[in-house]
Amino acid sequence: MGYGGTYDDAGQAIGNSGDDGIDGIIKEDRLGLDVVYIQAKRWEGPVGRPIVQAFTGSLEGNRARKGVLITTSRFTEEAKEYVKRIEKRIVLIDGKTLAELMIDYNIGVYKKAEYIVKSIDSDYFDAE
């Protein structure tokens, strides 16, 4: 998505036990002057406000101002309203949006079919 300069330098996966609720870090610019913290949830049901609040706490623990919380599921209205009210900038990406971003940026997808649409060239028939 254009973050951090090179593909290899743009981010870092750190999700392990003891990761303080942070799964990854993305450099916002080539110099790494600002970073975005990531948490990803593979979830069956909707992700609620308590999960978002816990992520907010993880950001605070890292003195971070920005975060992205990604789920393969969806977020409750309560969770969406919560991120609108807090000072920290948190973007919520649900499963539908994640799939759209994956398609837009060709991540984890492949081209299955390609179609060519043709039109009649009316100038061809006007030639003498």
In this predicted structure, the answer to whether residue 113 has a pLDDT above a threshold of 70 is yes
Domain boundaries along the sequence of the chain: 11-126
Give me the amino acid identity at 101: L
Q: Does the pLDDT value for residue 118 go beyond 70?
A: yes
At residue 100, does pLDDT exceed 90? yes
Q: What is the per-residue pLDDT for 42?
A: 87
- Each residue of 14-57: pLDDT tens digit? 766 555 789 988 888 777 778 899 999 888 899 999 999 999 99
Domain 11-126 has CATH 3.40.1350.10: yes
- What's the confidence (pLDDT) of residue 31? 76
Mean per-residue pLDDT over the chain, rounded: 87
Q: Is the pTM of this model over 0.75?
A: yes
Query: What does the pLDDT read at residue 33?
Result: 79
98 vs 126, higher pLDDT? 98
Q: Give 17-76 as a 3 state SS string.
A: CCCCCCCEEEECCCCCCCEEEEEEECCCCCECHHHHHHHHHHHHHCCCCEEEEEECCCEC
Task: Note the pLDDT of residue 6.
Answer: 62
